[in-house]
Amino acid sequence: MITSVLVANRGEIACRVFRTCRDLGIRTVAVHSDADENALHARVADEAVRLPGASPAETYLRGDLIVKAVLAAGADAVHPGYGFLSENADFARAVLDAGLVWIGPPPEAIEAMASKTRAKKLIGIAPLEEVTEDDLPVLVKAAAGGGGRGMRVVRELSELDGALEAARAEALSAFGDGEVFVEPYIQGGRHVEVQIMADAHGTVWALGTRDCSLQRRHQKVIEEAPAPGLSRELTDHLHLLAVRAAHATGYRGAGTVEFLVADGHAHFLEMNTRLQVEHPVTEAVFGIDLVALQIRIAEGGALDAEPPRARGHAIEARLYAEDPARGWAPQTGTLHRLSVSGVRLDTGYEDGDPIGVHYDPMLAKAVAHAPTRAEAIRKLAGALERAVVHGPVTNRDLLVRSLRHEEFTTGRMDTGFYGRHLPELTGPDPDPYAPLAAALADAHGRSRFGGWRNLPSQPQVKRYAMAGEEHEVRFRHTRAGLTADGVRVVHAAARLVVLEVAGVRRKFEVARYGDQVYVNATALTVLPRFPDPAAQHAPGSLLAPMPGTVVRVADGLAVGAAVRAGEPLLWLEAMKMEHKIAAPASGTLTALHAAPGRQVEVGALLAVVEPSEAVAESVVEPVAESAVEAVAESVAESAVQEDQDQ
Q: Are 217 and 328 in contact (CB under 8 A)?
A: yes
Distance of CA 28 to the CA centre of its chain: 26
Helices of type H across 259-388: 279-286, 290-298, 373-386
Q: Are 488 and 314 in contact (CB under 8 A)?
A: no
Note the helical H segments in 337-395. Answer: 373-386
**CA atoms of 187 and 183, how far apart (whole Å):** 13
**Cα(45)–Cα(348) distance, integer angstroms:** 12
- Reference 487, options 505, 472, 461, 514; nearest CA is 505
CA distance 362 to 331: 10
Please check whether residue 334 is in contact with residue 345, taking contact to mean a CB–CB distance below 8 angstroms.
no
159: exposed, middle or buried (C-beta count within 10 Å: 0-12, 13-18, 19+)? middle
Beta strands in 239-324 (DSSP E): 253-262, 265-272, 313-320, 322-323
Say how far apart CA 261 and CA 278 lie, in whole Å.
Answer: 18
How far the first Cα of the chain sits from its last, in Å, is 30
How far, in Å, CA of 585 to CA of 619, rounded? 6
Are the CB atoms for 280 and 367 separated by under 8 Å? yes
Residue 352 — left, alpha, or beta (φ > 0 → left; ψ -120 to 50 → alpha)?
left
Peptide bond into 226 cis (omega under 30): yes
CA angle 357/361/364 to nearest 5° reads 140
Residue pair 250/104 in contact by the 8 Å Cβ criterion: no
Q: Is 274 a catalytic residue?
A: yes
CA-derived radius of gyration, the chain: 26
Burial letters for 600-639: b for 16+ Cβ neighbours within 10 Å, e otherwise? Answer: beeebbbbbbbbeeeeeeebeebbbeebbbbbbbbbebbb
Catalytic residue among 190, 274, 373, 476: 274
The DSSP element (H or E) to which 304 belongs, if any, is none
Q: Answer yes or no: are the C-beta atoms of 379 and 371 closer than 8 Å.
A: no
Active site residues: 274
